[in-house]
Amino acid sequence: MRTKSENKRQGLVAAATEVFVERGYEAASMSEISARAGGSKATLYNYFPSKEALFLDVMRSLTTELSSAYVKLQPGGDLEEMLRAFGVAFLDSLFSPQLRALHAIVMGSGSRSEVGKLFYENGPKTGWTRLANFMAAEMEAGRLRQASPWTAAMHFHGLLQSECQAAMMTGLIDELAPASERPGRVAEAVRVFLAAYGAQ
């Protein structure tokens, strides 16, 4: 059961998410966020010492589903099955309203904003590192050929996203990347990946 303090924190994060999506990171103010949450700026700063700290918490709340996808990568299991399970979970989370909201914040913040770096360092880079570590373990075990784990991770990531990029850019998820087609697309991505990186 959540405590009153946890509920308050979640309310602040929800309000911040709305403001960040509407205004972008740079234009969003702690004053507007606290007003949207129905509290004082002093209360907001008691929970989050800076706008950056608040944004990182917003990011964590929006990427919970994506983080759970990486749990499916456990070295030592059925490699093809794990890659398929991860791929489907990855794409499902990528198209979730939460991740789309986060992308809207990042894209709406402009090239000179610090939010892009914050997003990369605490989001994609973290996930890609976990994927690369998994690749390294599979190479060490002889289930994948020896290569750069990071490059292998980037290639697999690219295969997963290749057919879905247009859907991400246009928002036409149901038309261009329907959930019913994702397992088949992932299976093909895994087939191509293992043809290139599978142990000989």
40 and 74 share a domain? no
Q: Is residue 129 part of a domain?
A: yes
Q: Is residue 53 part of a domain?
A: no
CA distance 183 to 187: 6
Indicate if the pLDDT at residue 93 is higher than 90.
Answer: no
Q: What is the pLDDT of residues 150-162, one digit of tens each?
A: 999 999 999 998 8
Give the count of beta carbons closer than 10 Å to the beta carbon of residue 108.
Answer: 17
Structure tokens at 167: 């859907």
Structure tokens at 195: 């043809």
Expressed as residue numbers, the domain containing 79 is: 58-199
In the numeric block, the tokens 């088949």 are attached to 184
**Higher per-residue pLDDT: 121 or 113:** 121
Indicate if the pLDDT at residue 1 is higher than 60.
Answer: no
H/E element holding 3?
A: none
pLDDT winner (highest mean) among 65-69, 176-180, 196-200: 196-200
165 and 126 share a domain? yes
CA distance 156 to 151: 9
> What's the CATH code of the domain at 67?
1.10.357.10
62 and 159 share a domain? yes
CA distance 175 to 167: 8
Instruction: Provide the domain count of the chain.
Output: 2
71 and 146 share a domain? yes
29 and 124 share a domain? no
40 and 62 share a domain? no
Burial class (CB in 10 A: 0-12, 13-18, 19+), 67: middle
Average pLDDT over the chain, rounded to whole?
Answer: 86
